[in-house]
Structure 1
């Protein structure tokens, strides 16, 4: 993002005018396009409105912009003679295409975090720096010289990493597989994207959990899929609902996150796991299992994935390092029948010729190293501690206004708000107070739910963050 140079001798209004003129000349604001209001631009840049008024006055004097009462400030359509007539309308292009943008709430949250890094962050679904194995990975990188040829690698993934994952999956997740049945991806999200684009067609019906992380991903709508809900209760989804959806809508695939589900934190019960296999086997339905949180169990042994029980080969299993190690490595994987792996590897080769080999080398070394298990144990302990801090803060500040079930693993706490509040207004009030969260409606739920992620916020900020959220909630309900 562009920032003002407050140490420059050049007045702030001139810096703003020059920056806008440059963006207009590059075609980012085509002729006739609407510019931000004076007040909105002032808020974005952290200056007084009078500074923006001066900047706009400078541009008007140059004939670059024009203002009309009731219609705002727009880029002039007549400046530079005929040249603007040939400028592409980039705004129209940006609003077009078949791949939909992120949901408005998610864009607002991302924009707020970019503009105000000091926000107490209960929204970002990733580990804080103090939870990531930064020192361990730095040590491995100093111990091992990554000197292999830095050309395009196998589009299915770096072979030594796939070999390391065979052992990892068997040891930690009870999954027996071969390197030829593993596809390395750029995190779980790319796995989901490849599935929706390559294995399904526009108009196909799929079943996803409700609430579900999948609702926050416009990629499903971009693929033209019809989404049908599988309600989640304290024991996970009810497999009988799958049979009902199949009869009504001929669903072609089921997406589930059975271990510490995002956002609710629930674990699919043993009885329902058995029923899920019975129903999907009877109907011949493939199941996509997303398992990013399974190894984060706080006290009990980590729940095993569905894939560990899969004797018919009906589960497409997705895993990732993002929630247990380092999201910046962008290392995920999919375990699937070889025909599916080959199909998706061919597709991802068309996209990017495969991942960078260096983070794959780092990941392979890390999961084979003596650092991995101690890191997991430390991660579980620290996540458990942060979860307890969050719960303690909620009970102190909002015991009469929220209800929740403490998760036994994962990164998220799902809360139901007793008072009726508008999601957007609550987020706005919270942002004013320096704290951000994800409204429950992002995940397909009704208003009145919020997701707090306790892995990202600093330990010392958790109590303060909930105190500020409580102020915002009470402001709206007073």
Structure 2
């Protein structure tokens, strides 16, 4: 007997809709056939009735069934009078490749999109009250758009690249010019273009484990091999790196050295210096992924690798998504002219260049007095939220959960006692209305979890911590 897979990558309502569509197309359910009542199916598969309703609505939108009050749900007569079967079986095309990313992470995102009353401690973004909406509104009122709305330079709007050069020198100690900056739609696009344009299928890339890059499908989708770099709680161990580079023939290193996702760790200055020396001596480039560097709880953010790079081995990528607003879709890459030229050409083939409006607004925001005030406010708020989350977790899970105290960033990385199943823990969390990301998403792991304190409000942090504790205990009992 067929039944939907609760742990599968496809939402259950779509599994059910696809199941009935296959039966209809194969003639097992001819036109006019009555489908089982919603309550009966919900009981049979032990699902909420709303899931069955959603599946039937999906079938109705595909034109496969008719739903009439009092007469039940039937396979449509009209659809099959027009055509005995669909002209193209799109299922065949979509099944040729698996959906990108971790199934657990897709499940978290699916639940977040439902808009239900959940505490979202999984999303990697600031809470709504920390997005500088009033600053954006005022900038748009006071400074009318003068840029033409035609196709723009694929390297990025020139005023934005100028503003970024000033910002990078002032806030990140990185010397750059408008010519050495390539604007992207966030860090993810920068990494995608690097993987596609600077590397070849089969190349090996060194990444931290655990890390976001393990969970991302960007590198495997380009046919690249990922190799775990030697690391401990203080970050990459440079003394072991040279041997690994030679052994695995690493072509590139991709690192997140400041408030790393998910651990929140920061690579110390001595290791940074030695890391740069090893990479330069062996001719291996480093991609420095720096979305969180300015989200420091102390006065002085960590100095980027790029600011210490005297031999030109670092491609530096950053973004406004984690410190301002992800909806701006403004990221950047700093690198040599040859790389900028190559990536710009590829970008033009993808989308004919970036959108003018968000780039114009990002340039105005970075050059305004609003930016510095906003940054100070965000850093204070993140520090308070992190302390609140740790306090609440200690109150509810004393002795059952330990975590590394972050000095910045958006995340708390915790280790749970007892070896709880990641899938079971997530299911229990969803039942109780709290979302988080199991540590196994970020690499081979035993019993870790990533909780975001940036996304929920202070009130929701207290509620979310209590719900998470309940979910952990329920999952531990089985």
Q: TM-score, normalised by structure 2?
A: 0.86
What's the CA shift for 1:445? 3.3
What's the CA shift for 1:427? 0.1
Q: Tell me if structure 2 keeps the 8 A contact 1:394–1:466.
A: yes
Other structure's SS at 2:310 match:
coil
Aligned counterparts of 1:271 and 1:255: Cα–Cα separation in 2: 19
Match of 1:302 in 2: 301
What's the CA shift for 1:116? 3.8
Match of 1:43 in 2: 48
Match of 2:265 in 1: 266
What's the CA shift for 1:306? 0.3
Match of 2:92 in 1: 92
Aligned counterparts of 1:162 and 1:391: Cα–Cα separation in 2: 39
| CA deviations over 1:297-329 (Å, ceiling 9, x no partner) | 112410110000111111000000001101000
Aligned counterparts of 2:327 and 2:207: Cα–Cα separation in 1: 27
What's the CA shift for 1:220? 1.1
Match of 1:393 in 2: 392
Q: Tell me if structure 1 keeps the 8 A contact 2:230–2:241.
A: no
Aligned counterparts of 2:67 and 2:82: Cα–Cα separation in 1: 25
Q: Tell me if structure 2 keeps the 8 A contact 1:28–1:90.
A: no
Match of 1:253 in 2: 252
User: What aligned pairs does 1:218-367 form with structure 2 within 5 A after superposition?
Assistant: 218-367=217-366
Match of 2:10 in 1: none
Q: Tell me if structure 1 keeps the 8 A contact 2:66–2:75.
A: no
Other structure's SS at 1:295 match:
coil
Summarize the Cα distance change of 1:48–1:218 in structure 2 as closer, same or farther, 3 Å threshold. Answer: closer
| CA deviations over 1:273-299 (Å, ceiling 9, x no partner) | 111011101110000000001111112
What's the CA shift for 1:243? 1.5
Other structure's SS at 1:351 match:
helix
Aligned counterparts of 1:85 and 1:307: Cα–Cα separation in 2: 58
Aligned counterparts of 1:147 and 1:401: Cα–Cα separation in 2: 57
Aligned counterparts of 2:46 and 2:136: Cα–Cα separation in 1: 42
Q: Tell me if structure 2 keeps the 8 A contact 1:100–1:222.
A: no
Match of 2:102 in 1: 103
Aligned counterparts of 1:33 and 1:196: Cα–Cα separation in 2: 45
What's the CA shift for 1:436? 0.5
Structure 2's unaligned 5+ residue stretches are 1-12, 29-34, 58-64
What's the CA shift for 1:372? 0.9
What's the CA shift for 1:103? 1.8
| CA deviations over 1:231-277 (Å, ceiling 9, x no partner) | 44221111233212222210100000000011000110111111101
| CA deviations over 1:389-410 (Å, ceiling 9, x no partner) | 1000111001111111110000
What's the CA shift for 1:148? 2.1
Q: Tell me if structure 2 keeps the 8 A contact 1:228–1:245.
A: no
Summarize the Cα distance change of 1:420–1:81 in structure 2 as closer, same or farther, 3 Å threshold. Answer: same
Aligned counterparts of 2:446 and 2:82: Cα–Cα separation in 1: 51
Match of 2:158 in 1: 159
Aligned counterparts of 1:115 and 1:290: Cα–Cα separation in 2: 30
What's the CA shift for 1:111? 1.0
Aligned counterparts of 1:214 and 1:264: Cα–Cα separation in 2: 13
Aligned counterparts of 2:217 and 2:307: Cα–Cα separation in 1: 30
What's the CA shift for 1:45? 3.1
Aligned counterparts of 2:184 and 2:355: Cα–Cα separation in 1: 11
What's the CA shift for 1:463? 1.0
Aligned residue pairs total 441
Q: TM-score, normalised by structure 1?
A: 0.86
Aligned counterparts of 2:346 and 2:387: Cα–Cα separation in 1: 43
Query: Does residue 431 in structure 1 map to residue 435 in structure 2?
Result: no
Match of 2:147 in 1: 148
What's the CA shift for 1:128? 1.0
Aligned counterparts of 1:296 and 1:62: Cα–Cα separation in 2: 56
User: What aligned pairs does 1:43-122 form with structure 2 within 5 A after superposition?
Assistant: 43=48, 45=50, 58-60=72-74, 62=76, 80=80, 83-85=83-85, 87-96=87-96, 100-122=99-121
Bigger shift: residues 229-238 or 118-127: 229-238
Match of 1:128 in 2: 127
Match of 1:31 in 2: 25
Summarize the Cα distance change of 1:29–1:279 in structure 2 as closer, same or farther, 3 Å threshold. Answer: farther
Aligned counterparts of 2:458 and 2:444: Cα–Cα separation in 1: 28
Bigger shift: residues 103-112 or 248-257: 103-112
Aligned counterparts of 1:202 and 1:138: Cα–Cα separation in 2: 45
What's the CA shift for 1:28? 11
Structure 1's unaligned 5+ residue stretches are 1-18, 65-78
Taking only aligned residues, the RMSD between alpha carbons, in angstroms, comes to: 2.9
Match of 2:6 in 1: none
Aligned counterparts of 1:427 and 1:400: Cα–Cα separation in 2: 21
What's the CA shift for 1:29? 9.8
Q: Tell me if structure 1 keeps the 8 A contact 2:207–2:228.
A: yes
Other structure's SS at 1:170 match:
helix
